[in-house]
Structure 1
């Protein structure tokens, strides 16, 4: 099979298309033919090196989120048949590149996979896992009071966009920070107020809870009320302890029932996602350059 390997830690040029033996589903495993694989900032970080647990020694494969169809089923795996449409998430910080979605095939555990409802294409399905699970987990960590205000930074992005929708649907008054010239789309997510990135957060707050999905760090921290909650997607500078702000980092956790629920909500239109572009697997390096440049309107998805 063809796959994209990180051949050395560094810039996008270290990504190379390689030939590897076709994987085989062993007992308790499922072989998936990958039809789409999302490109995330987490992939960029792994390619460069600074990730939880320390850098991975090359060569290794990248890719968390994928969608495709079942190619073969190993012994002892009920409920799946060849041809079934599936999507899932590689628990990449556990596999550390021994399995990755930037490939024509991957071997998955059943608890990595959910079904893809009819009407949802593979590219869209591949954008759900990491971002929607992170958004849902962040909101659970915050436990904001019904009707209270929540500031979400990065609402134009994957985590922020899903979080803004889920929070608004839960009855929170969501203030969403939108990327430049993306205010219309963010405003369509059901939020109460859209703040253009060009305006900054100087006039926002104090609010009892902030999800810093970008993250912006001190700028977002300034908007949270004393005694409030600040959750970020990556480490940021600590808030002055005297302010009494509860500060946490949301870490991705694979949750199959939750993923199935979120996938169904995307399929029936209760949650919205965006695909900025689909690119061939061989253009993985270009995909990484686009992600690093920012200002995307949706996810870049590789199509093997």
Structure 2
């Protein structure tokens, strides 16, 4: 089978299309014939070594989120059958690229996967697991502050995958949402239900003060300037401590796989209760160019690699 491996640490040029042995399913596993794999900033960061717990020894396969069909089933009791449509998240923070999703076939633990409803196509489905779970789990950290219903929240990066889901889920949870959109993308973000949409160039110190910030970019201190004293800020990457200390609780949201949550979120997207979008698709063999496009920025939606 073909896979795309990071042969060394570096930029997109380190990604190489390589012939790899086709995997076999062990106990509790299935082999997924991958039809779509989402390209995340985390994938780009993995190739440069700028990830939690430090660089991964090369070679390795990037790729968290996959959608496809079950090609074979391992020994023992089976939850899935050959031909079942599935979507899932490889817990890359555990596998560290062995496996990763940039491949024609992936041996996946059944617990990484959920059934993919017929109403949702492979490409759109591949944009859901990492982004939507990160958004939901981050908002759960906000909820720990016991904020009353109707409290105000600022979401940075609402044009992005995580920020877009965070905006929708915050509205569902009863927050009053101010969402920061990329220039020219205000209509999309407004359509997610945000009560107010501001430009990415807005001075966030003039926003609010809000009870909470979901810093999906993250922008760090600039976003924190919008939160009230003793509020809460949730960031998706480590940010410096606030100076001065205003009693603001800072939380770091790092993804963890929650299969029940994933099934619910995929179901909501399939039913039209949550929206996602794809900016462009590219063949798996063009993964290096895909990373270049992600690094260049400006994509309104996710980039998804498709696999024949």
User: TM bucket by the smaller chain?
Assistant: over 0.9
Deviates more, 1:236-245 or 1:246-255: 236-245
Provide, for residues 150-192 of structure 1, a one-character-per-residue CA deviation record: whole Å limited to 9, x for no partner: 0000000011000100111111100000011100000001111
Q: Any gaps of 5 or more consecutive residues in structure 1?
A: none
1:267 to 245, 267, 270: 270
Deviates more, 1:239-248 or 1:223-232: 239-248
Q: Distance in 2 between matches of 1:197 and 1:230?
A: 18
Where does residue 171 of structure 1 map in the other structure? 174
Where does residue 254 of structure 1 map in the other structure? 257
Deviation at 1:245, TM superposition (A): 0.4
Q: Distance in 1 between matches of 2:39 and 2:272?
A: 23
Residues 210 and 220 of structure 1 are in contact (CA less than 8 Å); yes or no, is this contact kept in structure 2?
yes
Where does residue 91 of structure 2 map in the other structure? 91
Provide, for residues 187-210 of structure 1, a one-character-per-residue CA deviation record: whole Å limited to 9, x for no partner: 001111000113332320211100
Q: Distance in 2 between matches of 1:227 and 1:242?
A: 9
Q: Distance in 2 between matches of 1:34 and 1:241?
A: 49
Deviation at 1:79, TM superposition (A): 2.1
Where does residue 129 of structure 1 map in the other structure? 129
RMSD over aligned CA atoms reads 0.9
Q: Distance in 2 between matches of 1:160 and 1:205?
A: 18
Q: Distance in 2 between matches of 1:209 and 1:154?
A: 15
Q: TM-score, normalised by structure 2?
A: 0.97
Q: How does 1:40-79 map to 2 (within 5 A)?
A: 40-79=40-79
Deviation at 1:241, TM superposition (A): 5.4
Q: TM-score, normalised by structure 1?
A: 0.98
Deviation at 1:242, TM superposition (A): 2.9
Residues 124 and 275 of structure 1 are in contact (CA less than 8 Å); yes or no, is this contact kept in structure 2?
yes
Q: Which runs of 4+ in 1 moved over 3 A?
A: none
Residues 79 and 110 of structure 2 are in contact (CA less than 8 Å); yes or no, is this contact kept in structure 1?
no
Count of equivalent residues: 304
Q: How does 1:16-55 map to 2 (within 5 A)?
A: 16-55=16-55
Specify the SS of the correspondent of 2:197: strand
Deviates more, 1:80-89 or 1:138-147: 138-147
Where does residue 296 of structure 2 map in the other structure? 293
Q: How does 1:194-205 map to 2 (within 5 A)?
A: 194-205=197-208
Deviation at 1:222, TM superposition (A): 0.5
Q: How does 1:2-21 map to 2 (within 5 A)?
A: 2-21=2-21
Residues 77 and 110 of structure 1 are in contact (CA less than 8 Å); yes or no, is this contact kept in structure 2?
no
